[in-house]
Structure 1
Amino acid sequence: MINLFDINETNAVIQRINNLKPETPPLWGKMSVEKMLAHCNVTYEMALEDMHTKPSGFKKTMLKLFVKPIVVGNKPYKRNSRTAPEFLITNEKSFELEKVRLINYILKTISLGEDYFDNRESFSFGKLTKKEWNTMFYKHLDHHLNQFGV
């Protein structure tokens, strides 16, 4: 698993993002490239911004029990997996804006550092270790960058 808290490995991921073009087609799935970038931004919005309603009660318990092991585990995501409603992008997005937002979120994450995230409360899963945060960030990005062939 690539460590997104390492600047060299982060730069390699950013280069993959920079290889995307507005006309890059998906190898699978229905998302356009700009919607995929916006979709990937949601993970960082939930980690770094206060712009989404946090799950509570039964929903949070279900997320922790059933979704967390998938999200922070080492097994890659399956193609065409269901997307949580919070991650569905239904309106039009700007490729350039979403690309810049994603790169800035990645750079902000590395500038905060892995110790900032260690045992930090996640949006949906309770406290995560720095390894779990890294897995969540990288695995999701890698899945969608592979979806678009970069």
Structure 2
Amino acid sequence: MKKSILHSDHRQELLDRVAELQAGDQAHWGSMRVEEMLAHAREVAAAVLKSPKPEKKANIKQLLGKYYFFYFKKEFPKLVKGPKRFDMKGKVSQDEFLEEKQGLIDALQAFGGISHQLQGFHPFFGPLNHQEWGILVWKHTDHHLRQFGV
């Protein structure tokens, strides 16, 4: 079974790892500070929770990328650029570590209480279904926690 934020044990694994983060932790790759990473992961999770039903269909490139990512790729690749709206570089103060840490915890916990099917359009993969969003959020969060050694 692929790990998913929708599965309580998998979600708890991520929550336990978030709890290990400390202010001032250094990234093993990339240029985000730990509080920027927390804000980034929180923003992405929150966007997934409220994303609207997709209005477009996937193109062939998106279908192939989605198939590869969900069935063959175990981890997010390092240093991949995401949409600008989720770029938190320089937008989060180091003093906001505890607030951002709790914000990510709250966002991840919210997946345990959703009563709707996740849906939405991903810029690289196209439309994703409920299960695919669950896997994607888990992989994305795992990627950033590994970035900071937890």
TM-score w.r.t. the length of structure 2 is 0.77
Percent of counterpart pairs with the same letter? Answer: 25
Please tell me whether the aligned partners of residues 121 and 128 of structure 2 are also in contact (alpha carbons under 8 angstroms).
no
Match of 1:111 in 2: 113
* Deviation readout 1:55-109 (Å, 9 max, x if unpaired): 987xx867x8279628952412211122221221131241111111111111111
Distance in 2 between residues matched to 1:26 and 1:136, nearest whole Å: 21
In the alignment, residue 19 of structure 2 is paired with which amino acid?
N
Q: Which runs of 5+ in 2 are unaligned?
A: none
Please tell me whether the aligned partners of residues 72 and 133 of structure 1 are also in contact (alpha carbons under 8 angstroms).
no
In the alignment, residue 32 of structure 1 is paired with which amino acid?
R
* Deviation readout 1:123-150 (Å, 9 max, x if unpaired): 43334142x0111110001111000000
Match of 1:5 in 2: 6
Please tell me whether the aligned partners of residues 119 and 130 of structure 2 are also in contact (alpha carbons under 8 angstroms).
no
Distance in 2 between residues matched to 1:133 and 1:11, nearest whole Å: 17
Match of 1:144 in 2: 144
Match of 1:98 in 2: 100
Aligned pair count?
141
In the alignment, residue 80 of structure 2 is paired with which amino acid?
S
- Deviation of the 1:48 alpha carbon: 2.5
In the alignment, residue 41 of structure 1 is paired with which amino acid?
R
What secondary structure, in the 3-state scheme, does the structure 2 residue paired with 1:21 have?
A: coil
- Deviation of the 1:11 alpha carbon: 1.6
Which runs of at least 4 in structure 1 moved beyond 3 Å after TM superposition?
none
- Deviation of the 1:29 alpha carbon: 0.7
* Deviation readout 1:12-65 (Å, 9 max, x if unpaired): 210100000011100111000000011111222212347xxxx987xx867x82
Distance in 1 between residues matched to 2:24 and 2:67, nearest whole Å: 31
Match of 1:121 in 2: 119
What secondary structure, in the 3-state scheme, does the structure 1 residue paired with 2:21 have?
A: coil
In the alignment, residue 121 of structure 1 is paired with which amino acid?
Q
Please tell me whether the aligned partners of residues 7 and 110 of structure 1 are also in contact (alpha carbons under 8 angstroms).
yes
Please tell me whether the aligned partners of residues 33 and 148 of structure 1 are also in contact (alpha carbons under 8 angstroms).
yes
Distance in 1 between residues matched to 2:49 and 2:130, nearest whole Å: 16
Match of 1:40 in 2: 41
Please tell me whether the aligned partners of residues 26 and 148 of structure 2 are also in contact (alpha carbons under 8 angstroms).
yes
